[in-house]
Structure 1
Amino acid sequence: MKYVFPENFWWGSASSALQSEGEGYYTSRGETTWDHWFARQPHRFHQEIGPQDTSQFYRYWQEDIQLLKQLNHNSFRTSLSWARLIPDGIGEVNPEAVTFYNQVINELIEQGITPFITLFHFDMPMAMQEIGGWENREVVDAYARYAKICFELFGDRVLHWFTFNEPIVPVEGGYLYDFHYPNVVDFRRAATVAYHTVLAHAKAVQAFRAGHYAGEIGIVLNLTPSYPRSQNPEDQKAAHHADLLFNRSFLDPVLRGKYPADLVELLKDYDQLPKCQEEDSGTIAEGKIDLLGINYYQPRRVKYRDSIVNPLMPFMPEWLFDNYEMPGRKMNPYRGWEIYEPGIYDILVNLRDNYGNPRCFISENGMGVENEQRFIENGQINDQYRIDFISGHLKWLHKGISEGCNCLGYHMWTFIDNWSWCNAYKNRYGFVQLDLATQKRTIKKSGEWFAITAFNNGFNEE
């Protein structure tokens, strides 16, 4: 079977500033929430490895861009660091940061690699967090200013902008489940953070439209299809609630310009609605995007709760559903995530049938594996499992495109083994192996496979 993708398909990978830049960390940029948290609780991070220990893109950017070219990338997504560009979040622009990002953008273009640039990838400047982070509307306005500065500085060359990467994750991690700073567990505050993030996104889109910049603007959402345990109406309702909270809370505002009415009703029923201002609905309506990035890693399987909620416990999403472990599911045992390739197809069909078939692309898809040195053969990691993972997802992506879904590309997470939040380097995701001690880069078997696939705009499979 031959899988050929549309002409001008985007082949590439994704990364982020905080997870790759490293060098120049404290000298040329402000403190982020991650620096602050790591300095105070290093034990929360795998092997106590913090964000200063990365693949040092700040130093090795030229070498790394050559590797991207070698892997036949025609596009590459990374982020700008708000704390590097404007160290206190609201003040003067750092000229060193402007020079660095100009060099990176120019070199990517010089090598025939289209830059896709994200404005915010989890790395809140600590100065902004100290006044409340996304709970504070002043931070929303500061972010809108930062976005406008980025458009002015780089918008003549960057033609694909993304306001946020996975905005639901700081909501879940920072305000529900305690795996991001500020480690709050409070649904109402989480709802406020989510709401203000949508407002920040919309204000950045407004600034982009007002400036008449070239190119397009979008957002990157991690979409996790919610599958009910059964066709039982209660299981179906549980899946609907999970979908409302974790997918449609961002998907509907950015594609339809408004929230789902049943999400608003649900939060009202439980007295969890954030405070709104009269002009907010107009702002959100103007935040509709040109391009949707889709990060897909795993499905969400849910069922009706087996037990009654204790009304004295604080409200949490799990009041509305229980997670369901489907028997016989295929797993990535290192990450604890289910591998379900048809999910990527289901996302695209949902967008086609229910959201007007927006322009979109797979902005992340990846497989993290622990202790990959086990698989070294003749000096190279033989990660056939990653090739199988990618090709399995690409087949379902191809099916969606052949049925009219408007998907324009596929980006893998990630180019080179990178620092990954509290997991640090526990699981490796890269096409390129990183020796953290020596900074030596070695292309894995999956990198070679991807280079051939990108060159051929597809692949053959028996």
Structure 2
Amino acid sequence: MKYVFPENFWWGSASSAPQTEGETLSFGKSATIWDQWYKEQPTRFHNGVGPAETSTFYKNWKQDIALLKELNHNTFRTSISWARLIPEGRGAVNQEAVTFYNQVIDELVAQGIKPFINLFHFDMPMVMQQQGGWENRDVVTAYAEFANVCFELFGDRVKHWFTFNEPVVPVEGGYLYDFHYPNVVDFKRAATVAYHTMIAHSLAVKAYHQRNDGGEIGIILNLTPSYPRSQNPADVKAANIADLMFNRSFLDPALRGEYPQELVALLKEHGQLPECQAGDKELLAAGVVDLLGINYYQPRRIKCRDSLVNPDSPFMPEWFFEAYEMPGRKMNPYRGWEIYEQGIYDILTNLRENYGNPNCYISENGMGVENEQRFDENGQIQDDYRIDFVRDHLKWLHKGISEGSNCLGYHMWTFIDNWSWCNAYKNRYGFVSLNLETQQRTIKKSGEWYKATSAENGFNDRT
């Protein structure tokens, strides 16, 4: 069977400034929370590899964009580093950064690759974190100023903007589960960070729409369908609460301009609601996006709790549910994540049936594998497992589109093996292999497959 995708489908990949640029404290850039955390606790990072050692995009952007072109990308997402562009968080713009980003954007456009630019990818400038980060409304205002500077400088060529990538992750990592700086465990502070993030998002969306630049602005959410263990009402309720907390807490304000009343009532009942200000309701309503980016890696399987909560423990989402390991599930053993291709279709169906079928695209999907050098044959990584992974997700994506979902493209995470937060280079995700010692770039077998798929706007199923 031949799977053909709609005309002008976006074929590309995604990356981020903090995971690829390198030069983390050079060329005028100030420290982010990652630089600070690495300085304080280097042992929290895999093999002690910190944020300075990324895939050298700052030095090799021209070569890398040539590789994007070779892979037949017509779109590519990366981010602008707030700490690089405005090192003090607000005020003076770093002209070296302006030059760098102008070169990247101009080269992408020259190669016929539409730049998709995201404004925040977990990389809070340390000067802003010292003022309280997203807990502080002044930092929210500073972010809106940064967004405006980006629109002013690059908006003539960039027509696809995104305010945040996976905004739930800094909430989970930084304020609930201790896997991002500042390593706080406090639900109410987490709720405040989540709320202020959407206020910041709305300020940027409102400002962009007022400009009438002829482009569109959205947000990128990691949507993880919550599947109940069974149809027992207790399991269904548990899965619904997980969905409210991890998906709808961002999805509803982004697409409906308001929070789910169920979530508000739940947090109010437990005294966990963040403080609101006059005008917030109208501001959130102005933050409805033009385009939704969907990052999908794995499902969330949920069951009701089978034990009582310790009343002295910190209030957590897990007061209401537990993770469920479904027997027989397909796994990526390297990342410890379930592979469930139908999830991508279920997300699109939910958006179509319950959210007015917004314009969207798959902004990330990918498979991290450890020690990929095992699969090197004659100088090329033979990553057939990644080809299978992408193909099988694209089949379900195609089904969603054929049923009427407004999904406009598919971006793989990622273009080139890059640095990944606390995991460094443990799991490789790229279409292009990166030799850390020589910085040599080599297209993997999956890159060749994706190149052909993009050129043909589809693929023949071999089964």
TM-score, scaled relative to structure 2: 0.99
Aligned to 1:278: 278
Aligned to 1:176: 176
Which runs of structure 2 are paired with 1:206-245 in the superposition (5 Å)?
Answer: 206-245=206-245
CA distance in 2 between counterparts of 1:210 and 1:356 reads 24
Unaligned ranges ≥5, structure 1:
none
Q: 1:39–1:130: structure 2 CA closer, same or farther, 3 Å change rule? A: same
Q: CA deviation at 1:213?
A: 1.6
Q: CA deviation at 1:220?
A: 0.2
CA distance in 1 between counterparts of 2:314 and 2:110 reads 54
Matched, 1:377 2:364: no
1:241-294 Cα shifts (integer Å, max 9, x gaps)? 000000000000010000000000010111100011121111100000000000
Q: CA deviation at 1:396?
A: 0.1
Aligned to 1:269: 269
Aligned to 2:2: 2
CA distance in 2 between counterparts of 1:25 and 1:417 reads 21
1:338-391 Cα shifts (integer Å, max 9, x gaps)? 000000000000000000000000000000000000000111000000000000
Contact 2:226 2:239 in 1 (8 A): yes
Matched, 1:70 2:70: yes
Contact 1:297 1:339 in 2 (8 A): yes
Aligned to 2:32: 32
TM-score, scaled relative to structure 1: 0.99
| Partner-residue secondary structure (3-state), 1:308 | coil
CA distance in 2 between counterparts of 1:328 and 1:269 reads 38
Aligned to 1:201: 201
CA distance in 2 between counterparts of 1:395 and 1:437 reads 37
Aligned to 1:455: 455
1:395-451 Cα shifts (integer Å, max 9, x gaps)? 000000000000000000000000000001000000000011110001000000000
Contact 2:27 2:96 in 1 (8 A): no
Matched, 1:17 2:3: no
* Identical-residue share of aligned pairs (%): 74
What's the RMSD between the two structures over aligned residues? 0.6
CA distance in 2 between counterparts of 1:255 and 1:186 reads 27
Which runs of structure 2 are paired with 1:96-107 in the superposition (5 Å)?
Answer: 96-107=96-107
CA distance in 2 between counterparts of 1:258 and 1:112 reads 37
Aligned to 1:412: 412
Q: CA deviation at 1:24?
A: 6.0
| Partner-residue secondary structure (3-state), 2:65 | helix
Which runs of structure 2 are paired with 1:385-400 in the superposition (5 Å)?
Answer: 385-400=385-400
Unaligned ranges ≥5, structure 2:
none
Aligned to 1:316: 316
Aligned to 1:153: 153
Structure 2 residue identity aligned to 1:309: V
Contact 1:249 1:259 in 2 (8 A): yes
Aligned to 2:432: 432
CA distance in 2 between counterparts of 1:272 and 1:24 reads 36
Structure 1 residue identity aligned to 2:445: K
Contact 1:175 1:190 in 2 (8 A): yes
Structure 2 residue identity aligned to 1:89: G
The alignment covers a number of residue pairs equal to 462
1:224-244 Cα shifts (integer Å, max 9, x gaps)? 000000000000000000000
Which runs of structure 2 are paired with 1:43-62 in the superposition (5 Å)?
Answer: 43-62=43-62
CA distance in 1 between counterparts of 2:183 and 2:314 reads 15
Contact 1:174 1:184 in 2 (8 A): yes
CA distance in 1 between counterparts of 2:65 and 2:379 reads 22
CA distance in 1 between counterparts of 2:437 and 2:324 reads 41
Structure 1 residue identity aligned to 2:127: A
Contact 1:155 1:214 in 2 (8 A): no
